[in-house]
Each structure stands twice: as structure tokens, then as C-alpha cells.
Amino acid sequence: MKVYEAIARGLSDLGCTELFGVLGDGCVYVIDSFRRDCNGHYVAAVHEGGAVLMAQGWARVAGKVGVAAVTHGPGLTNTITALVEGVKAGTSMVLLVGDTPVIDREHAQNVNQPGLVAETGAGFEMLRGPETVAEDLARAFYRAHCEHRPIVFNMPVEFQWQEVEYQKPYLRLPETRSAIASSKDMDDAIGIIASSHLPVVIAGRGVNDPEAEAAVLRFARRIEAPVATSARGKGLFNDDPFHLGISGTVAHEVALDVIGRSDCLIAFGASLNKYTSGERGLTRGKRIIQINPLASELGRWTPVTVGLVGDPGLTADAMVKWLDEAEIPGSGARSDHLLEELKTYHKNAQKKLVRSTPAGTVDLYEVAFALEEALPKDRVFVTGSGRFMFAFWNVISVPNPRSYVDGNGFSSIGLGEATAMGAARAAGDRPTLLVTGDGGFMLSGLSELATAVAEQLDLVVIVANDGSYGAEHIALTMHNMDPGISLLPSRDFARIAEAFGCNALTVTSSAELQAAMAAVAARDRKRPLVIDVKIDAASVYGGTAIARP
């Protein structure tokens, strides 16, 4: 067969069922063969960056390596921001990229593709020749899985029409689950836990399956510690009565108080970055035990007292075994007083958080609480980047960490929209909720609505429309400067979305919000629903400021 056919067949044999891309002469033949010869599903994005983000959204929800394909030159340069997002978010994906003929030095689309990719932090894997298709492609998938970042697979166009005898790619991923049976680090960790009076367990997306979650929860209950999660660990411990929610800059008042007063933090599969640690305000002066399969992640962002290299679930069970053998009692931190505090907070949260707003606008917390009730609990939740995030992160629940995806690794607006479309492709029968801002939606969301309509996605899009670049509006106002430059022209996103083929509504009041939630419940599940929510530009939806000695 031809090399392009061998690449397509190799993708299929490596388990790829979804391919996101934009056609160009450097990738069109691979895409066509994948769709035609391998019965793969091809999602035609509008922009190359959107294709990469869709693959990343799909990968985050599916728990597999996502795959996208673009052409050489401008096709690759259009993916740069999306590749950086994938690197910063630690997303495993392979990007197939055509490359211009080496012999044609004057090719208009010739560019230093290895150099561009290197600057993003993504990996680069070259198709060395027709006879190495299977080996090179398998290596790209292997690296994407093990390195948790995008790997660009570079395909010189002069190879693609050459004949090759097909060989099936061989890919065997290493078994990485391990736990320390006995060591000085384990002894020190057990000693710290034994002397702790108020420990808190924090879990991140490294606790990535139900078995690991159950093991970490057994450990937390054994030492009688409340539990919390990182933002990307959202969905863990949903049914535990001592669940504090998200730790860090968006934590609610009870969580801030408990984590702030704690004397020991045990982090399973969480990086303890500045957001989870509340700009270090929640970790300063504490004894910290961090468990991660990768030694390079221990203490990477926050200094730790003890680091344990191991699988979070297996290590949690090993720690319970040592605690039982040493007959170490629980801490008592799971107290009736804390349980009552949490019940009171959740009972009064909606009343406390929802605020009155000027006529013609609604409060984002009111929107968040309404969506929490209107959508099925088994759903996928995606956010773009913007100040609107803070009103939704602690309100919208998800069943597990793979059901929450953010396009916020690079803190760039406009990345959540395409990410949500890839996530929706992986969601199966579940609905996908996207919350984005009007600036980000204009930047890239509108164009990709065509893709969402073509794919008949069960996607509910909330556009938090304050008519401004919100963070900049706040920054200018805080410095007593005129925020006029941050304001955007009035746009009717509902009518624009309808022109793309979506169902759409505009919300300017509580009554219209309730009507919109009825529309969410009765939505056509094969047609995206866009809700343009008017909010007040002067309202501040921000994380909690944390400053502790």
C-alpha cells in the first residue's frame, strides 16, 4: 500500500477511532484513507488550532491518546497556542503534520517545523522513511502516553505516495502501578500522620480511576481526615460527607478555614500548584506528604516534607496497612462540628452567593445553581478561561475527574469552545456543558459552531456576556482608570448561533433564566443549544484571596 494508507491503517490498529483535523495537501490523503479504508470517524474542524483542542478535549474525557491532523507550514503555525495548552495541561495527544518536500527550498509553506514545535514544549517525532512507518508511529503514541504532552508526528510529503509493505505497529505501554512496601520515606510519612491532629487529604486527577479513588477515601477515613480536591480532581469523593470541595484559590469559606488550620496535608496525585495551594497560603508552615507515580512531580511546585513515589491507590492501601499494624488511632478531624458546618454551608450557599444585579442582567451564581439542577448529574463540564469560571467551579458537579475539562492551562481565552466539542465527542450519551465568555467566544467559538452543528453534538453553551474583556475591566477599574477600552460592541449571540444552525436563547432576567432551563431540559440532543446570558460588567467573580502567616 501507499505510505499514507499505512499511516491511516496504523492509526486504526493503534486504537484511534476519532481523528480531528483540517484538510491540506500534507494530510488530506491520510485523513481520507482513515475515513474511507479504516471506517474511522473524521471530525472536520474549521481552524487547525480548533482541531488540536478537540483532540485534547476528547483525550481528557476518553482517557486515551487523542489524534489530530493538519498540513504543513501555516497548518502547523495555526496550532501553536493549542499545543502550548496541551503541554501545560499535560494532555496526551498525537498531531500528524505534513512537511514540505526537502528538495523544494522555495516552497511557500516551508518553515522550520521542528523548531516551532520545540518552542511550544511539545515533543517531535519524525517519520524517517517508508519502511519505518509502524515503528515511528508507535513511538509517537508511546511518548504521548508516557510523557503526558502532545507529540507532533512529522510526515514528509515525498514519502506519502511511495509503496510500502504494511506492518502493524507494536505498542505495549509499561505497567506503572507500584507502591513502596517499606522505606524511610514511608516510615517518616506514617510518623507525621500519627502525630497529626488535623490532617487533610487532597486528591488530584492522578487519582484517575474508581479503584484509586476508593483506596484514597479508605485512607482518609482511616486517619479520620476530611478530603478535598484540586480543580482537575473535581468529581472525586462526591458522596463523602466530609468533602471540602476544591482546595485553593476558589475554595469556599469552610474549606479555607479547615485547610488553613490543618497541620498536615496528604496529597495524592495532585501537583499542589499555586492554585491548589492558594498561592502557598494553605501550605505554608505545614508538614506535607505528596504521593505521585513520577519522582519529578514531587515538590515540583510546593516544597514537601516527604515525597512517596508510587501509584496513589496502591500507596494509600499500603499506608493503611502500616497504620493498622502500628495501631495508630484516627485524628478525630472528622468531627460532628465539621459535619454540621459543611451541612450549613451547602444549605445556605445559594442564598449567600447569589446577588442582585442591574436590570437586564442576571447573576452568574444564579445561572450556575440553575444549571446544576437542569442538567443530568452524569454530564461533562468544560470551561474556557475568564473570570466567569469562579462562579461555576464550586457549583457545577461532575461524576468523576474525567468529566471535567478546562481550557485554562495557558490562561488564554478562546480555548474552551473547541475543547468542549472534542469532549462532547467522547461523552457518549451524556450532555456536555460549556461555560465561556463573550470575548473568548468571539475569538474562536463562533467559527467552530459549524463543527458542533455538523457533528450533532449534545452541547449546551453558556456565554457569560458582560460586553467586555472582564479581567481587564476589573484591572482598569481597580486602578481608578476608565475601563472603556475593555468594552465590546453589543452582540446578539443567540441570533448568530441560530444562523449557524444551533438552537439559541437570550437571558436578561431571572424569569428568562427559568425559561432557558426548561429549554435545557427539553433540548434537541442532536443540536447544540447556545444561551447568551447577559451579566453586569461591574460584577466581580473572583477566587478567594488567601493570606495566612
CATH number at residue 293: 3.40.50.1220
Cell matching residue 99: 512537511
**Sequence-distant (≥ 6) Cβ neighbours of residue 543 within 8 angstroms:** 248, 249, 250, 390
Rounded distance between C-alpha atoms, residue 439 and residue 527, angstroms: 23
Residue 293 vs residues 88, 200, 271, 549: alpha-carbon distances, Å = 18, 20, 11, 32
* DSSP string across 150-215: EEEEEEEHHHHTSB---------PPP-----SS-HHHHHHHHHHHT-SSEEEEE-TTS-SHHHHHH
Query: Phi-psi bin for 428: left (phi > 0), alpha (psi -120 to 50), beta?
Result: left
Per the structure, the complete domain to which residue 396 belongs is given by 354-534
User: Do 18 and 63 sit in the same domain of this protein?
Assistant: yes
pLDDT of 402-441, one tens digit each? 999 999 899 899 999 999 999 999 999 999 999 999 999 9
Please report how many Cα atoms fall inside a 13 Å half-sphere around the Cα of residue 208, on the Cβ side. Answer: 15
In our burial notation (b when 16+ CB lie closer than 10 A, e otherwise), range 200-210 reads bbbbbbbbbee
- We report the CATH number of the domain holding residue 92 as 3.40.50.970
Residue 33 near residue 8, CB atoms below 8 Å: yes
**Sequence-distant (≥ 6) Cβ neighbours of residue 115 within 8 angstroms:** none
- Residue 328: the pLDDT is 96
Find the helix or strand (DSSP H, E) in which 265 lies: strand 264-268
Residue 223 within any structural domain of the chain: yes
Residue 545 within any structural domain of the chain: no
The residues pairing with 502 across neighbouring beta strands, listed in sequence order, are: none
Residue 59 near residue 16, CB atoms below 8 Å: no
User: Do 277 and 424 sit in the same domain of this protein?
Assistant: no
pLDDT of 316-334, one tens digit each? 999 999 999 999 999 999 9
Residue 123 within any structural domain of the chain: yes
User: Do 210 and 327 sit in the same domain of this protein?
Assistant: yes
Rounded distance between C-alpha atoms, residue 537 and residue 1, angstroms: 59
Residue 412 within any structural domain of the chain: yes
User: Do 327 and 358 sit in the same domain of this protein?
Assistant: no
Query: For the chain, how many structural domains are there in total?
Result: 3
- Residue 542: the pLDDT is 54
User: Do 319 and 230 sit in the same domain of this protein?
Assistant: yes
User: Do 140 and 51 sit in the same domain of this protein?
Assistant: yes
Rg (Cα) of the chain, in Å, rounded? 24
- Residue 545: the pLDDT is 35
- For the chain, how many residues are written? 549
- Residue 546: the pLDDT is 35
Residue 488 within any structural domain of the chain: yes
Rounded distance between C-alpha atoms, residue 405 and residue 126, angstroms: 30
Residue 166 within any structural domain of the chain: no
Residue 421 within any structural domain of the chain: yes
Last residue of a domain, one of 299, 334, 369: 334
Q: Helix 312-325 vs helix 184-194: angle between axes, to the nearest 10 degrees?
A: 70
User: Do 188 and 290 sit in the same domain of this protein?
Assistant: yes
User: Do 147 and 61 sit in the same domain of this protein?
Assistant: yes
User: Do 86 and 206 sit in the same domain of this protein?
Assistant: no
Nearest-CA neighbor of 363 among 539, 107, 197, 542? 539
User: Do 117 and 221 sit in the same domain of this protein?
Assistant: no
Nearest-CA neighbor of 130 among 5, 263, 316, 268? 5
Query: Phi-psi bin for 244: left (phi > 0), alpha (psi -120 to 50), beta?
Result: alpha
Residue 248 within any structural domain of the chain: yes
Rounded distance between C-alpha atoms, residue 467 and residue 361, angstroms: 11
User: Do 137 and 194 sit in the same domain of this protein?
Assistant: no
Please state, as a whole number, how many other Cβ atoms lie within 10 Å of the Cβ of residue 482. Answer: 9
Strand 123-126 with 150-156, pairing: parallel
pLDDT tens digit at each of 549 positions of the chain: 999 999 999 999 999 999 999 999 999 999 999 999 999 999 999 999 999 999 999 999 999 999 999 999 999 999 999 999 999 999 999 999 999 888 888 888 889 999 999 999 999 999 999 999 999 999 999 999 999 999 999 999 999 999 999 999 999 988 777 777 678 999 999 999 999 999 999 999 999 899 999 999 999 999 999 999 999 999 999 999 999 999 998 899 999 999 999 999 999 999 999 999 999 999 999 999 999 988 889 999 999 999 999 999 999 999 999 999 999 999 999 999 999 999 999 999 999 999 999 999 999 999 999 999 999 999 999 999 988 888 899 899 999 999 999 998 998 999 999 999 999 999 999 999 999 999 999 998 889 999 999 999 999 999 999 989 888 888 899 899 999 999 888 889 999 999 999 999 999 999 999 999 999 999 999 999 999 999 998 876 654 433 322
Residue 544 has φ and ψ, to the nearest 5°, of: -75, 130
- Residue 42: the pLDDT is 98
User: Do 385 and 478 sit in the same domain of this protein?
Assistant: yes
Helices assigned H by DSSP within 14-120: 28-36, 48-62, 74-77, 80-89, 113-120
∠ at Cα 290 (285, 294), nearest 5°?
A: 140
